[in-house]
Structure 1
Amino acid sequence: MQLSDTDLIRLRADLIAVGYLVDDVLDRIGELGQAGLGRNMTVPADVALGEATDLLSTLIRLFLLQQSVPADRLDGVVDADALVRAGFLSLDGDAVRALVDVRPYGSPDDGASGWVVADLTPGLDQIITPTRPDYVLGVSPASTTLAQITMRMPVDTALDLGTGCGVQSLHLGRHAGRVVGTDVNARALELAAVTAALNEADIDLRAGSLYEPVTGERFDLIVSNPPFVMSPPSADGDTLVYREANFEADLLVETLVRGAGEHLTHGGSLQLLTNWAVLDQPWEERLAGWVPDGCDAWVIERERLDVFSYIEMWLTDAGLAGTERWRPAYDEWLGYFEKLGISSVGMGWIQITRAGRDEPHRRFESWPHAVAQPVGDVFARNASAVDAYRLPTGELLASRPRLVDVDQETLGRPGAADPEHVIFRQRVGLLRAIKADTALAAVLGALDGDLTLAQVIGAVAQVLDIAAADLGAAVIPEVRQALLDQFLTLEE
C-alpha cells in the first residue's frame, strides 16, 4: 500500500484545497454528526450533509461515512487512479469506495494537526464484521488518552513503541528532535508512513517487536499503548496484532517495564497506557517487582474490570457480537483466566523514570475520579515534585512553596460560626482535594512563594497561640504530600 512521493505531495495539497480539515469537517457535519461518529453511527452526519454533492461533502462521505460515491465527483479533486493503484480506494463500475480511513486530525493544545491514515472504522451503523488480523486501528479513545498523558517538554529523542497508525509520532514530533516509531505489524508501518508523509513529519519507522528494533539505543521519552489484551493464545494468523501479542497474561507489559531502564537516558521516562492482571497478590506489590533498579515508578489504576466485563468488551471489539463464535470464545477466555488465577483486570497509566536515586520513589494508587485532560504536565512535573517531597526538613523549612491552580472551599454545618474544614481543590491535572483543619488551612493559604515555610508556620502558630514546633510537626508531613500531589510548587 504505497503512494509515490509525488502522489503524497499532491494528496496533501488536494486535501487542503478542498478544506478536508478538522474545523471545516466539523462545521459541515455539526456537533450531532460528530457525536454520532463517536458512537459509530453515520446517520446524523449523513442527515447534516443532506443532498450536498460538493467536494468536501464527497470526501466526508467517502472516508468518514464509508459510502460509495460517483467516481466523476473526484475529477479534479484527488487523483483517484493513483489512490486505486495504491489500494486506498476500490473502483466498482462508476463508483469508488474507500479501503482505508483518511481522517482529519486536530490537537489544539500542541498543534499536532493534519490527517491520520488507518483501516476503516469497524462496526459503523451496527454492521459487525470480524476484524482482520493485521488491522490498523485509527484514532481511538485510548490513543487520545495516551497523547493527553504524554509529557510535552522538549526532548532530544523519543520512541513511539507500537506506533500503529502513527498518531503518537505526530505529537512526539512537536517536541522531540528525533522520533523513532516501531511496530511488529508491517501494514501498520505502511499506513504510519503515509500518515507521516501527509503531515510532513520526519519519523524513523522500523519493524520489530518490543525493544528489538532499538537494541542498544536510549531515549529521553518512550510512549506506548501496547497490544496488552490478555486473550488466550492463538495461531499467529488469528492474532489481532493491534491489540494482542500472544504473551501470557500481562507478560508483554511486564517485559516493557522491566526493559525500560536499558533504553532510557538519565532522567528519561517510559509512559504506558495499559492493563495488568490482578491475582491473589496485591497488584501494587506485583507491579513493583517489575520496576528496574534505579528507576522511579508512578502507577495510577484508573479502572478495575471484572473478568466478565473485560472479556465482553474485547470480544465485541473483535467483531464477535451476535455470531456463533461468541459463547465458545467467551468460555475459552474464562477458562484461560481461571487457569492463570486472574480475578480482575486493572487498567491505567504507568510512568517509569530512570531517576538514578539511591532510594527510588515508587508510587502506586487507584484514582478512578475525573481528571482535567491533558495531564501530561502533571507527569512532567513529577520528578521535581518528588525532589521537593523528599527535601530534608531544614531545607524544606527554608524553601518558599507556592500554592498553584487551586480553589478554596469551606465545609461546615449551616449557621455555624466557623467552618469545620477548608477544602483545597485543584483546578487542573488530577483534580485532587485536600480537606484541611484550621491550622493546615492557614498554613497552605499563606504559602504564596514570598515567605519561607518556617516563617509561615511561625506566623500561624502565633495567631493560633500554639507552639511553632507543635504546629510544624503537625503540618510538615501534609505540606510534603501537597508538594508531591502538586498543590504546591517550589518553582519561581
Structure 2
Amino acid sequence: MDAPSDLVRRLRDRFVETGYTIDGVRDRLGDMAASALAREEIVPALRATRDADPLAVLIRLWWLGAPVSMAAADLPLQDLIEAGLLVRLGDSVQATVHLQPWDIGTGATGTGDPAYVVSDRKVRPGDPSLRPDHVVGAGGASANLAQLGWAAPVGRALDLGTGCGVQVLHLAPRAEHVVATDVNRRALRLARLSWGLSGVTGVEAREGSMYDPVDGERFDLVVSNPPFVIAPEARYTYREAGRRGDEFCRDLVRRTPRHLAQGGQARFLANWLHVKGEDWQDRVGGWLAETGCDGWAVQRDVQDPAEYVELWLRDSAEHGTSAYRERYDEWLGWFESMNVTGVGFGWIALHDSGSLSPLVRVEEMTQPVEPPAGALVEEVLRAARTAHELSDEDLLDARLKVAEGVVEERVGPPGADDPSRITLRQTRGARRTVAVGTVEAALAGVCDGDLPTRPLLAAIAELTGEDPAAVLRDAPAALRPLIADGFLSVTSTVASLR
C-alpha cells in the first residue's frame, strides 16, 4: 500500500473537487444517515447514496466499504488496484482500506484544506477476524487526544504510537518538526498515506516500541494514544501491549520525563486498574510522583470488569462468535486473579516545569469540559500550585477575583428565608460544580480583585452575624479548594505588592 506520490496527489484532487470532505459528506447524507453513521450504522448511508452520483460513489467506496461499479467510479482504478488500495470484483471494485475525511479545524497545513485518514476497513459483526497488525481508524478517542494535545506552537513534537497518523495531522500546523513512531510497520505505511492525502510533508516516521526509536532525544510535546487496553494477552498491536495489568501505562508515564525538553509537555490517554483495598488515585498519583514533573491525571469514566470486557470484545467484532463466551470468561478470571474491581479511563498530562517540588493532581471529572481540553492543563496546574503555596496569612491578605463564567445557584423550599444548598458552577473551562457555605458565596459575590480578602470577610461576618474571628480562622481551609479548582483567582498577594 505504498502508493506513488503522483497517485496520492491525483486522488486528493479528486476528493477535493468532488466535495469528499466532512461537510460535503454530511450534507450529501442528510442528518439521519449522518447521525446513524456516527453510531457505526451504515444502512441509512447506503440508502442515501444509491443514486451513484460522483460524491455518493466516493462515500460508498471509501467510507462504507461497499463495492461500486467500475463504470461509475471516476478514479484511476488500475493504478489504485496496483497500489493495493482497491480490489476488482468482476465489473466492480472494492476498497481494501477505510479512507475518510477528518476535521482538524484549520486544516493540516493551517490553511483550511481538508484532511484524510487511512486505516484498515472497519470491522463489523460477521466480518472475518481482525489480523494481529490491524490498523484502527480515527474516532472518538482520536478526537479527544487531539483536544487534549492542544498547545501553543512547539519546536519538536512526538506522536508515540501514531497508528493511522491522525495526531500528526493536528500537530503539523504548529510544530516545526514532527516524529511519529509505531511498532506496527503496516500502521506507518497507512499513516504516510494519511499525511500525503492531507498535504502534510516532512514527518519523520520510525518503527519501534515505546521510546526505543527516539532513544536519547527530547521533545517539546509528546502525545500518545497508546495500546492501553488491559487484557490477558496481546492479540492486536493497536490496543494491547502484552504487559500485566496496567504496567504499560505506568511505564509510559515513568519513561516520559527523560524525553521532555526543558518546559516540555506530554499528553496521553490511559487506562488504570481499580484494585480491591487500594485507592485508584493513590495508584495513578504514584506514577506521576515518580516523574519529577508536574502532573494532572483525570478519570473520565470507570467500568466494572464485565463492562470493560464486553466493550473490547465488541471492538474486535467478537460478539456472537463461537469464541465469545470463552474469551469473556477467561478475561474475567484474569481480572479476578488480580482483585480488579474496575478499570478507569482518562488522560494524563505532564509538564517539565523545573519545579523542585512538583505538583501532582489526580481527580475524577465526568462532566463535559470546554474544548480544547489541553488549554486547561497549565491553567489547572497553576491554580493548584497557587492554592498549595499560599500560607493562611498570605491568603487572607491576597486580592481574590471570581473567575469568569462562574454562576451561583440556590436551592431551597419555596418561600424559605435561607437556601438549603448554595452551589457555584463554572460555565467555562473545567465546568466544575461545588457546594459552598454562605460566607464563601458572599465572598464570591463581592471579590473583584480590588480589596484584600481579610476586610471583605470582616464585613461579611458583620452582615451575617457570624463571629469575625471564627470566619477568619475557617476561611483559608474553605477558600483554598476554590482557588485550586479555579472558582477564585489570586490577582495579587502581599509579597507581589512589596
**TM-score (norm: length of structure 1):** 0.91
Q: Residue in 1 aligned with 2:284?
A: 287
Aligned partners of 1:150 and 1:379 also within 8 Å: no
- Using the alignment, how far apart are the partners of 2:231 and 2:389 within structure 1? 45
Which of 383, 386, 389 is the matching residue for 1:388?
A: 386
CA apart distance, 1:402? 3.9
SS at match of 2:482: helix
The answer to whether the aligner puts 1:152 opposite 2:166 as a matched pair is no
SS of the equivalent of 2:287 reads coil
1:254 match: secondary structure: helix
Alignment of 1:194-209 (within 5 A): 194-202=193-201, 203-209=203-209
Aligned partners of 1:401 and 1:447 also within 8 Å: yes
1:256 is displaced (CA, Å) by 0.2
Go from structure 1 to structure 2 and tell me whether the alpha carbon gap of 1:491 and 1:215 turns closer, same or farther (over 3 Å shift): farther
Look up the SS of the partner of 2:30 in the other structure. Answer: helix
Residue in structure 1 matched with residue 26 of structure 2 by the alignment:
26
Q: Which residue of 1 aligns with 2:66?
A: 67
Answer whether contact 1:403 1:447 (CA < 8 A) is retained: no
Please state if 1:485 is matched with 2:497: no
SS of equivalent residue, structure 2 residue 263:
strand
Q: Distance in 2 between matches of 1:198 and 1:101?
A: 13
Equivalent residues of 2:399, 2:491 under 8 A apart:
no
Change (3 A) 1:154 1:450: farther
Work out whether 1:118 is the aligned partner of 2:131: no
- Indicate the residue corresponding to 2:16 in structure 1: 16
Note the alpha carbon deviations across 1:387-436, whole angstroms, 9 max, x for none.
32234335543344342222222222210134344321111233211222
Shift of 1:207: 0.8
Q: Secondary structure at the match of 1:220?
A: strand
Secondary structure, aligned partner of 2:478? helix
* 1:17 shift after superposition: 0.7
Counterpart of 2:126 in structure 1 is: 127
User: Partners in 2 of 1:473 and 1:166 — Cα distance?
Assistant: 55
Contact 2:400 2:452 (8 Å CA) reproduced: yes
- In 2, distance between residues paired with 1:251 and 1:144? 25
Q: 1:478 to 1:333 in 2, by over 3 A?
A: same
User: Relative to 1, partners in 2 of residues 1:465 and 1:266: Cα closer, same or farther, differing over 3 Å?
Assistant: farther
> What is the alpha-carbon distance in structure 1 between the residues aligned to residue 253 and residue 117 of structure 2?
28
| Alignment check: 8 A CA contact 1:403 1:448 kept | no
Partner residue of 2:448? 448
- Cα distance in 2 for residues equivalent to 1:179 and 1:401: 40
CA distance in 1, matches of 2:488, 2:174: 26
- SS of the aligned residue for 1:182 comes to strand
1:427-476 alpha-carbon deviations (Å, 9 max, x no partner):
12332112222211111122334444445435434544656654343333
Q: Which amino acid aligns with 1:177?
A: E
* Counterpart among 100, 104, 126 of residue 103 in structure 1: 100
Cα distance in 2 between the residues matched to 1:200 and 1:477: 54
Letter aligned with residue 359 of structure 1: S
Asked if structure 2 preserves the Cα contact closer than 8 Å seen for 1:405 and 1:487, the reply is no
The structural deviation recorded for 1:29 is: 0.5
Change (3 A) 1:361 1:311: same
Q: Does 1:79 align with 2:76?
A: yes
**Which shows bigger deviation, 289-298 or 3-12?**
289-298
Please name the residue that 1:53 is paired with.
52
Q: Aligned equivalents of 1:316 and 1:380: distance in 2?
A: 36
- C-alpha separation in 2, matches of 1:383 and 1:204: 32
Q: In the alignment, residue 114 of structure 1 is paired with which amino acid? A: A
Match for 2:239 among 221, 239, 243? 243
Partner of 1:261: 257
Which of residues 270, 277, 293 in structure 2 aligns to 1:274?
270
SS of 2:71's partner is helix
Partner of 1:173: 172
Asked if 2 retains the 8 angstrom alpha-carbon contact of 1:136 and 1:187, the reply is: yes
User: RMSD of aligned C-alpha atoms?
Assistant: 2.4
Report the Cα offset of residue 230 of structure 1.
1.8
| CA shift digits 1:256-310 (9 cap, x unpaired) | 0111211122332222212112223322222233233422222222222222221
2: CA distance, partners of 1:173 / 1:469: 57
Residue of structure 2 in register with 1:364 after alignment: 362
Summarize deviations over 1:55-108 as a string: whole Å, max 9, x none: 111101111221111112223xx3222221111111222211111111011134
Q: AA paired with 2:156? A: T
Q: Equivalents in 1 of 2:287, 2:26: separation in Å?
A: 44
Give the Cα separation in 2 of the matches to 1:480 and 1:355: 22
Q: Give, in whole Å, the separation in 2 of the partners of 1:242 and 1:207.
A: 14
Q: How many residues align?
A: 483
CA 359–193 in structure 1, closer or farther in 2 if over 3 Å, else same: same
What per-residue deviation string (whole Å, max 9, x for no partner) do you get for residues 181-220 of structure 1? Answer: 1110111111111111122224221111101111111222
Q: Measure, in 2, the Cα distance between the counterparts of 1:476 and 1:387.
A: 15
The residue type paired with residue 208 of structure 2 is: G
Q: Distance in 1 between matches of 2:353 and 2:450?
A: 30
1:436–1:161 CA distance, 2 compared to 1 (3 A): same
Aligned pairs for 1:338-349 within 5 A: 338-349=336-347
Code of the residue aligned with 1:45 in structure 2: it is: A
Structure 1 residues without counterparts, runs of 5 or longer: none
- AA paired with 2:264? G
Which stretch shifts more, 62-71 or 197-206? 197-206
Q: 1:109 offset after TM fit, Å?
A: 7.9
Contact kept? 1:311, 1:330, Cα under 8 Å? yes
Conserved 8 A contact 1:153-1:380: no
Moved more, 394-403 or 155-164: 394-403
CA contact (8 A) 1:104 1:115 kept: yes
Show the counterpart of 2:436: 436
Query: Among the aligned pairs, what percent are the same residue?
Result: 38
CA gap of 1:289–1:422, structure 2 versus 1, over 3 A, is closer
8 Å CA contact 1:374–1:429 kept in 2: the answer is no
Aligned residue type for 1:96: V
Structure 2 residue 333 is the aligned partner of structure 1 residue 335: yes
Q: Would the aligned equivalents of 2:165 and 2:191 in 1 still touch at CA under 8 Å?
A: yes
Is 2:359–2:381's contact at 8 Å kept on the other side of the alignment? no
Aligned-partner SS, 1:345 = strand
Instruction: Determine the C-alpha separation between the residues in 1 that align with 2:351 and 2:339.
Output: 30
Kindly state the Cα deviation for residue 119 of structure 1 after the two structures are TM-superposed: 1.1
Say if 1:150 and 1:228 are closer, same or farther in 2 by CA, change over 3 A: same
Q: Deviations over 1:316-336 (max 9, x none)?
A: 222222121112222322332
Q: Secondary structure at the match of 2:136?
A: coil
C-alpha contact 2:384 2:485 (8 A) present in aligned 1? no
SS in 2 for 1:173: helix
Deviation digits for residues 157-198 of structure 1, max 9, x if unmatched? 221111111111111223323222111011111111111112
Match 1:303 to one of 287, 301, 304: 301
3-state SS in 1 of match to 2:138: coil
Distance 1:114 1:443, change over 3 A: same
- Equivalent in the alignment of 1:41: 41
